[in-house]
Amino acid sequence: MTYSATMVNNYRSHGKLILYDENGNVITNYSASSGSGSGKVARTLPAGNYYAYGYVNITDPKSRFMYDGIGFKAFLGPEKVWDPFLNRFRDGLRIHPAKLGTLGCIGLNEGAPMLLDFQRRWLDAIKINKTIPVNVVYY
């Protein structure tokens, strides 16, 4: 996977989460964003190499991991990531549905059909590979 994005402001990015097959061909992509409206709480996910793993289904309609009736989160590692802009380590990074921004996770800005598509593809992928490489790049 690749999160390829541009900076919207000093704190937030917007782009695409791109999925690839085992040969490196693009399967599909999803509109995505990272970061909030304020750098005091969180910023966009720092560029670099990560890995995604696991899955938790979310059913609480008030959860920040739910949008358009679909809720889930996949985990991003490593567990702690140095953020040079905040001058501290960050943790609790995820991939999840998000209407607008996130607290530095990768938020999928899609409606229910595309969120269900990602969810299905993700569950199929982690049956085969326990971790999936994620490259975060800004252009």
Which pLDDT belongs to residue 39? Answer: 59
Q: Are 97 and 74 in contact (CB under 8 A)?
A: no
Question: Cβ atoms within 10 A of the Cβ of 47, count?
Answer: 12
Tell me, yes or no, if the pTM score tops 0.85: yes
- 69 by Cβ neighbours in 10 Å (0-12 / 13-18 / 19+) ranks as exposed
The domains of the chain, with CATH numbers, are: 2-138 (2.40.440)
Tokens of 75: 């985990």
Which pLDDT belongs to residue 130? Answer: 93
Mean pLDDT estimate for the chain: 92
pLDDT digits (tens, 9 = 90+) for 46-96: 999 999 999 999 999 888 899 999 999 999 999 898 888 788 888 999 999
78, 25, 19, 51: which is closest to 133 by C-alpha? 51
d(CA 85, CA 63): 27
